[in-house]
Amino acid sequence: MDRATRNRGWERNERRPRVFQFSESNPLSPYLFLIPHAALFLLFTVYPIGFGVYVSLHRWDVLASTQPFVGLEFYRRLLDPNTVQFQFFWKTLLNTLLFVAVSVPLLVGGALSLALLVNRPISGRGFFRAVFFAPNIFAVSVVGLVWRWVLDNQAGLVNIVLDEYLGVRPINFITEQPWAWLSIILATLWWTVGFNMVIYLAALQGIPKTYYEAAELDGASTWAKFSHITWPLLSPTTVFVVITTVIASFQLFGQSLIITGGGPSRSTQSVIMYITEEGFSNFQFSSAAAMAMVLGLIMMLFTVVQFRALARDIGMGAKGDAR
């Protein structure tokens, strides 16, 4: 082979894209960028879900050499009123739904109100933004212990103030209803409302000021500017905030565990707490896996319904604006 032939071969090899080369000429480049995320998604999401389904279909015993297949037996128990699983799973699920129904409107409405407040040109607004967001950096264990100390029945800061300075009989915030739920919701609101506030604040700063200037020239009131400009343009953000807040609220665990311990009489025990108890205290891994699968399906159903309802509102708003 002469030198000219070898040079042409090297030039063809240099122009030919390598399989793992990140370049515009390589058609596999987009997939190469996706591989790290896909690998983590398969390892930490798809595999645990698949393994959970497998465990829920078997009588799982970590000490046994074989795990017999039982089909839908543990799912059937969740629908049988004569089983313990039926009684406590649906009771704790209703507790969780109550928490979602009360906390989500507060977390969304409170976050929007705070964002509107600190988006105004007031003095020290950077300080207030930091103060409202700061609790979000704490772990749930810290939040639970702080509020447990503040609201303790005997030695809590609130009860000391009520008793010593106001002459009011101490309130059993931890062991009586509705104070127990109020304690959990108040702690959750203080802890997480700042995160939603930051999301709303970013969305508010993305609205062009020319819209408000035009509305002011037309004599629009503050409420008219909010209802016809701010709220419609915040709709996509609201969809995101509502869905993520509902999903996070369904995962209530640490606040109930640390502040009330699930009491009184399991009235503040969340469904995640009961699934954990079933799996790691009662060692009923298959039953806990079946409950987790059912809870996951319920959360997916809620998410789909919310997304369709809120997305429809956004579409109607867009049509209204077009008219």
| Tens of pLDDT, residues 126-149 | 899 999 999 999 999 999 999 999
| C-alpha distance across the termini of the chain, in Å | 75
CA distance 192 to 188: 6
pLDDT of residue 76: 94
Contact predicate 103/249, CB 8 Å: yes
- Coil, strand or helix: which one is 15? helix
Question: What token pair was written down for 58?
Answer: 């078997």
- The DSSP secondary-structure symbol of 7 reads H
- Check whether 14 has a pLDDT greater than 50: yes
Contact predicate 286/59, CB 8 Å: yes
Long-range contacts of 317-323 (CB under 8 A, 24+ apart): 317/232, 317/235, 320/232, 321/232
pLDDT per residue as tens digits for the range 238-256: 988 998 999 999 999 999 9
- Check whether 169 has a pLDDT greater than 90: no
Of the candidates 299, 282, 292, 289, the residue with the CA atom closest to the CA atom of residue 84: 282
pLDDT per residue as tens digits for the range 29-73: 888 888 999 999 999 999 999 999 999 999 988 888 888 999 999
CA distance 139 to 157: 21
Residue whose entry in the numeric block shows the structure tokens 């810290």: 142
| pTM recorded for the entire structure | 0.83
Residue 69 bridge partners (DSSP): 58
pLDDT per residue as tens digits for the range 278-315: 999 999 999 999 999 999 999 999 888 877 877 766 66
| HEC sequence for 174-231 | CCCCCHHHHHHHHHHHHHHHHHHHHHHHHHHHCCCHHHHHHHHHCCCCHHHHHHHHHH
Contact predicate 117/295, CB 8 Å: no
Ranges 46-55, 68-77, 165-174, 223-232: which has the least confidence: 165-174
Query: Which residues, in sequence order, are CB contacts of 232 under 8 Å at separation 6+?
Result: 317, 320, 321
Contact predicate 299/247, CB 8 Å: yes
CA distance 38 to 32: 10
Residue whose entry in the numeric block shows the structure tokens 């409202």: 132
Q: What does the radius of gyration of the chain's CA atoms come to, in whole angstroms?
A: 27
- Check whether 265 has a pLDDT greater than 80: yes
Using alpha carbons, list the distances in angstroms from residue 218 to 10, 121, 232: 71, 22, 19
pLDDT per residue as tens digits for the range 91-108: 999 999 999 999 999 999
